[in-house]
A and B are shown apart, each in its own frame.
Chain A
Amino acid sequence: MENRPLEYDYTVAKWFMLTTVVLGIVGMLVGVILAWQMAFPGVNLMAGEGLAEYTNFSRLRPLHTDSVIFGFTLSGIWATWYYVGQRVLKVSMAESKFLMVLAKLHFFIYLLVVVAVVGTLLLGISTGKEYADFEWPIDIAVVVVWVIWGMSIFGLIGIRREKSLYISIWYYIATFLGIAMLYLFNNMEIPTYFASGGIGNWYHSVSMYSGTNDALVQWWYGHNAVAFGFTVPIVAMIYYFLPKESGQAVYSYKLSLLAFWGLMFVYLWAGGHHLIYSTVPDWMQTMGSVFSVVLILPSWGSAINMLLTMKGEWQQVASSPLIKFMILASTFYMFSTLEGPIQAIKSVNALAHFTDWIVGHVHDGTLGWVAFMIMAALFHMAPRVFKREIYSKSLMNTQFWVQTLGVVLYFTSMWIAGITQGMMWRAHDEFGNLAYSFIDTVTVLHPYYTIRAVGGTLYLVGMFLFAYNMYKTMTSSRRVEESELQNASPMGA
């Protein structure tokens, strides 16, 4: 008994892996539909006039953002948590019935929330705040899910054998605390049905904050939901999976310390860069700009730490598609965290704000960094969880190149579209009159919208390859022994 290695229990990790793949496909499919709608508005009527209300850009847009953020990404975060948590804390979920029940509850309440979100967003039931669209009953369910996850994190930490918390655990804890704080404060709202003594819809609510204040709280939330949903937990993943897969030790502990505490301190200040030249006080806008630039330090700290972890082992990038995914993710992280601060500089922001350049920036971060890292994590987990080798290495390679091409088409077209539109909005003729009417700045974008839609479609095709590869790995790939699961993941041809 004493000498047997720990048997980790991956039941809940598997369930979240499944929702990661399914919601990833749903969210990106909706995104691709939106992209084609912008290039060819006729697509709004793809299901006929009768269903136009539900297939229209308006209703699908929040569904896209919320299903990739709260569906795909959150599922990915939790799939990895229920895998990484046990392994770095050296304790199995199976050792505590309580934690096991909690984890299952976590999954099933989350599923209910997903169903409620999809339904309400299609019906147009929304608070009107980006990424905080849910009405109060769903908000309460979200808080319940979050508290359960918190109990799961600290419960597992409470019974750990490894006393010192590994870097990934720092980042998971920060994700939990950061989102908890942001979500609670931004979604402060008053249900009108109860406040008015029973009039109107029971689920409708009104924000506790108004106008400029509401904007301030919303972008303090909105920017940092990106921080604590798209950066912090993804860094948690790369700190675990890259060293594991490559068999290399993390390059520098001191650099990881600096990057972690630096990121924690600086990130929250940067929210103001969404409000430059708005009606929030000027000093706050400048603070947002300055701290956004400072943010390069901790962001690049992590990214460089990861790249240097590969020191002397760069041939692995050529030989392993899994390492390729992670190295490209890390590179896109550096790229995106340089682009963001550039856009936060006031004079650049004056040009870029409200244009497609911002959309491009979001997507090189999410498609290039977040989604690549989550898929790499799932690829690494699959052989360990299912005790089978990854079904096809060549399919992984194909997926990698198809998706990389997709991302490149996406962000390059959106850069050009954004800068073109920004320049045209401000152009004056020789008499000082506006040179273009607004519609001129829309029709000029058609080719770029088409290229973007093609890029998005390629990425989606890659998602289907990913799903197929995962499905085959789960069901019919060659079985592997524990001894084959040391570092580099076993892969079939």
Chain B
Amino acid sequence: MFHWLEKHPFFFAVAVFLTIAFAGLIEILPNFAQASQPVVGTKPYTTLELAGRHVYIKNSCNACHSQLVRPFKSETDRYGHYSLSGEYAYDRPFLWGSKRTGPDLMRVGNYRTTDWHENHMKDPAAVVPGSIMPAYRWMFKNTADIDTAYAEQVTVNKVFAVPYNAEIPMADGTKATVALAATLDEAKAAALEEAKVIAADMKDQDVKDAVAAGQVPEIVALIAYLNSLK
């Protein structure tokens, strides 16, 4: 059979393809629908948080920080409850990372504040002596891309039925709603309101001035995202 295949390239290629495709079909397909169900308390991202998530990706934060708490005592002691599949239901892409040069950030919103992040992003080694993380001072000057974040919200709402403007059950029995603005202008206004709350806790005068002038610096969006990780 093998000799015959080696003289018939088309059938050879078909045989190779079937052999390699087999594993993917069995491993990936059966679990697909089940794995994408959110757990109670998992909310979609707001416009500002999503813009911050884009800043996170733009600067490859996931190259050094994981977002996956493994079910070991040493990890739950350090980072909090181990990760559940449904907690990632609205993560496109997933940001588990593959290397922990810095600590895990899955639940960083539980134990770090806006103020801490501001100082840390400006000069990591001043906050954590011995840190090898580089400073991210340009994030205080660059403007976050709210438009693209809103476009992504509209897309996932339309294509994947991500539940914006819908009641979401929370762990304490209450309901929460994450709004999706009807127009881009409304989305920008809402993001700015959210940004003002963050900027009020910050010290950097340029950031405060920018927000007062209706701009959202990248650092504000990023902190909104980091604070949402719980």
Contacts and interface: CB of A to CB of B under 8 A. Distances in A.
Interface in A59-84: 59, 61-62
Given A192-B155, A350-B72, A177 B16 contact: yes
Contact of B28 (A204, A216, A433): A216
Contacts of A29: none
A207 interface: yes
A220 B27 contact: yes
B134 A56 contact: yes
A284 B31 contact: yes
Contacts of B128: 439
Interface in B67-91: 68, 70-75, 77-78, 83-91
Given A207-B92, A278-B96, A57 B134 contact: yes
Nearest to B88: A211
Given A210-B88, A278-B68, A439-B129, A218 B94 contact: yes
B32 interface: yes
Interface string B158-177: 11100000000000000000
B22 interface: yes
B119 to A, nearest CB: 15
Interface in A269-327: 269, 271-272, 274, 277-281, 284, 287, 291
A190 B151 CA distance: 11
A218 B98 CA distance: 12
Interface residues of A, number: 91
A15 interface: no
Contacts of B137: 49, 52
A421 to B, nearest CB: 8
A165 B7 contact: yes
Contact of A177 (B17, B35, B87, B156): B17
B60 A211 contact: no
B212 interface: no
Contacts of A195: 151, 154-155, 158-159
A22 interface: no
Interface stretch (B99-107, B190-198, B200-208, B220-228): B99-107
A280 B102 CA distance: 23
Interface in A200-235: 200-201, 204, 206-207, 209-218, 220
Contacts of A483: none
A173 B13 contact: yes
A280 B9 contact: no
Nearest to A158: B9
Interface string A349-362: 01001111011000
Contacts of A428: 73-74
Nearest to A127: B93
Contacts of A442: 101-102, 130-132
A200 B150 contact: yes
A438 B105 CA distance: 12
A267 B23 CA distance: 9
A271 B36 CA distance: 20
A173 to B, nearest CB: 6
A475 interface: no
A356 B100 CA distance: 9
Nearest to A173: B13
A269 B19 CA distance: 11
Contacts of A197: 154
A130 B98 contact: yes
Contacts of B125: 41
B135 interface: yes
B222 to A, nearest CB: 12
A213 B35 contact: yes
Contacts of A193: 151
Q: What DSSP secondary structure best describes chain B's contact surface?
A: helix
B131 to A, nearest CB: 6
A185 B24 CA distance: 11
A280 B35 contact: yes
B20 interface: yes
A434 B77 contact: yes
Contacts of A98: none
Nearest to A191: B155
Given A213-B32, A442-B101, A173 B20 contact: no
B94 A434 contact: no
A269 B27 contact: yes
A130 B75 CA distance: 24
Interface string B1-37: 0110011010011001101111110011001100110
Contacts of A62: 60, 63
Contacts of B20: 174, 177-178, 181, 264-265, 267-268
Contact of B74 (A164, A268, A425, A439): A425
A229 B131 CA distance: 35
Contacts of A185: 24
B9 A218 contact: no
Contacts of B114: none
Interface of A: 37-38, 41, 44-45, 49, 52-53, 56-59, 61-62, 124-130, 154, 157, 163-165, 170, 173-174, 177-178, 181, 185, 190, 192-193, 195-197, 199-201, 204, 206-207, 209-218, 220, 257, 261, 264-265, 267-269, 271-272, 274, 277-281, 284, 287, 291, 350, 353-356, 358-359, 425-428, 433-434, 438-439, 442-443
11 contacts: A170-B12, A174-B20, A192-B148, A214-B92, A216-B28, A264-B19, A268-B23, A269-B27, A277-B71, A425-B75, A427-B74
Given A57-B63, A211-B92, 15 more contacts: A37-B132, A41-B125, A59-B60, A127-B57, A128-B62, A128-B95, A170-B6, A210-B36, A210-B88, A267-B23, A278-B83, A425-B78, A428-B73, A438-B102, A443-B130
